[in-house]
Chains A and B, each alone.
Chain A
């Protein structure tokens, strides 16, 4: 069982020591990774995914529960540490939702009972109902993302979930992160979307391939995050209304304050 991981800093692209020497992330925590394109976000993630032991370009070292992971933990493909979710991912399998989830559960040695749990959880994240009989490939972007989140939370047993830019997902983003963290995952979000970035516990700022700063989310930011989340839910609600052919009458933007 993974309680926490520790990232021990290495060197940036220029070979200088990274300013951040150590980042500890605990189970159930949500951590942001921010920085411009090319700042080294992907290689940080790759280091975590491979459980780097000063053997990658950055010379970072990843500890699991304060210890060096075993060779088996590093190489066994069934023990991959990181599950990923991103905007570009789609379901391509030509199957029904129910059959697909059963197959995934079987592959992971999980019980078939998970299937209903995944579908129910997914339905709490999107306004468009998902049914087991639905074909995977006809799901909307929002439904697909909701199902992916629920599936990762319940069936995938990778302890770390990496979320890469799900800005326009059409799902309750806030709830999605909560669900993952609530299932005991370490959640890392690469994002510049303030709805997501400000609900993290802290964020790693990347620059020139190195971890430049570790910023703890301030109480003010957390307050702001709650408001942003309300706006986000408000937008989603409007979206559902428009989709269902309703006429939008009263717009209570002032209620958001």
Chain B
């Protein structure tokens, strides 16, 4: 079984391109199971169910969705194996720009919206820089020049990644995505490791402190001028 982890900001087109790509796998008699990880709410499960793909959702609530996905990968793999799937596909909301959910052997796919501005690739952090594949969506709405600038910015951040320009509406480029999925490595839970180490709770805010006043803050604290200190035991 192969594992495909798809990350990207909400509304970037992850579900739309995945639906097209999974359809193309179905045409080749390949089975997928989808897990959708989101923070508070999602109705993506309905969209995936429509094309007949077994789907589960996980809501991370106040936890970073990437952390939450990682804690649950083992169970997800077990579930997808029970479904006799060829692919386990995890769609996760890339809200946390410090984390990236990709493991060593998964196909790491970053879906990124071309209308979000030419500097977006520089802003999104490890979920782009550690991806195998960047799927650029919504190119149908911007000029060729902006698409080319966007492409260049992605390569600045991740020179090794393959770029697919896809359209979540027409399905253009999605068969190419399916073909990349076919080339992914077998997942092996024992050897699976994260590509990018996730920052865990680093300060008291992470564990529930709500007071704003400086004197209540402990842990690794960084000021806007770049000064950083460790406060605490």
Chains A and B belong together in one complex? yes
Contact A93 B175, beta carbon cutoff 8 Å: no
- How many chain B residues touch A (CB < 8 A): the figure is 30
Q: Do B143 and A91 have beta carbons less than 8 Å apart?
A: yes
Q: Count of A-B contacts with CB under 8 A?
A: 79
Pick from A42, A152, A155: contact of B170, CB under 8 Å = A42
Listed A/B pairs (18) with beta-carbon separation below 8 Å: A42-B172, A55-B179, A75-B162, A80-B165, A84-B144, A88-B141, A90-B141, A90-B143, A92-B146, A93-B149, A94-B117, A101-B145, A104-B149, A107-B152, A108-B148, A148-B143, A151-B144, A155-B145
Minimum distance in angstroms from B173 CB to a CB of chain A: 7
0/1 per residue, B1-41, Cβ < 8 Å to A? Answer: 00000000000000000000000100100000000000000
Assess the B149–A103 pair: CB atoms within 8 A. yes
| B118: Cβ under 8 A from any A Cβ | yes
Please give 18 more A-B residue pairs, beta carbons under 8 A apart, in addition to A80-B151, A89-B142, A151-B144.
A42-B170, A45-B172, A46-B175, A56-B175, A75-B162, A77-B155, A77-B162, A78-B152, A86-B140, A88-B140, A89-B144, A91-B145, A93-B146, A104-B149, A107-B149, A152-B144, A152-B145, A155-B145
Given known A46-B173, A108-B148, contact A77–B143 (CB-CB < 8 A) = no
Q: Check: B176 CB closer than 8 A to any chain A CB.
A: yes
State which of B24, B140, B165, B170 has its C-beta within 8 Å of the C-beta of A57.
B24
Closest to B173 in A: A46
Nearest neighbor of B153 in chain A, beta-carbon distance: A107
- Cβ–Cβ contact A89 & B175, under 8 A: no
In angstroms, how far is the closest chain A Cβ from the Cβ of B162? 6
Residue in contact with A89 in the complex, picked from B27, B143, B162, CB distance below 8 Å: B143
Beyond A42-B170, A92-B117, whether A104 also contacts B148 by CB under 8 A is yes
Complexed CA–CA distance, A45 and B151 (Å): 20
Chain B hits for A144, CB < 8 A = 143
User: B59 near A: Cβ within 8 Å?
Assistant: no
Chain B residue with the shortest CB-CB distance to A158? B144
B115 at the interface (CB under 8 A from A): yes
Q: Nearest-CB distance from B185 to chain A (Å)?
A: 18
Residues of A within 8 A of B (CB): 42, 45-46, 50, 55-57, 75, 77-78, 80, 83-86, 88-94, 100-101, 103-104, 107-108, 144, 148, 151-152, 155-156, 158
B132-175 CB mask vs A (1 if < 8 Å, else 0) is 00000001111111111101101100000011010000111101
> Which B residues lie within 8 Å of A42 (CB)?
170-172
What is the CB-to-nearest-CB distance from B225 to chain A, in angstroms, rounded to a whole number?
A: 28
* C-alpha gap A215/B132 in the complex (Å): 43
Q: How distant is the Cα of A42 from the Cα of B143 in the complex, in angstroms?
A: 18
With beta carbons under 8 angstroms apart, the residue of A75, A77, A78, A148 that contacts B145 is A148
- In the complex, which residues of chain B have a beta carbon less than 8 angstroms from the beta carbon of A107? 148-149, 152
User: How far apart sit A200 and B189, CA to CA, in the bound complex (Å)?
Assistant: 56
Nearest A residue to B167 via CB reads A42
**Cα–Cα distance between A55 and B163 once the two chains are bound (Å):** 18
Alpha-carbon distance between A93 and B140 when the two chains are bound, in angstroms? 15
User: Across the interface, do A89 and B176 meet the contact criterion of CB distance under 8 Å?
Assistant: no
Q: In the assembled complex, which residues on chain A have CB atoms less than 8 Å from the CB atom of B142?
A: 89-92
**Which of B141, B148, B176 has most A Cβ within 10 Å?**
B148
Shortest distance in angstroms between A144's beta carbon and chain B's nearest beta carbon? 8
Q: Which 3 A-B pairs give the minimum distances between C-beta atoms?
A: A77-B163, A107-B152, A104-B145
Q: Looking at B144, B151, B154, which has the most chain A CB atoms within 10 Å of its CB?
A: B144
C-alpha gap A148/B141 in the complex (Å): 13
B111 to chain A, nearest CB (A): 16
B141 neighbours in A (Cβ, 8 Å): 88-90, 92
Return the contact of A85 from the options B144, B155, B170 (Cβ within 8 A). B144
Contact A46-B172, Cβ < 8 Å, known A91-B146, A107-B152, A155-B145: yes
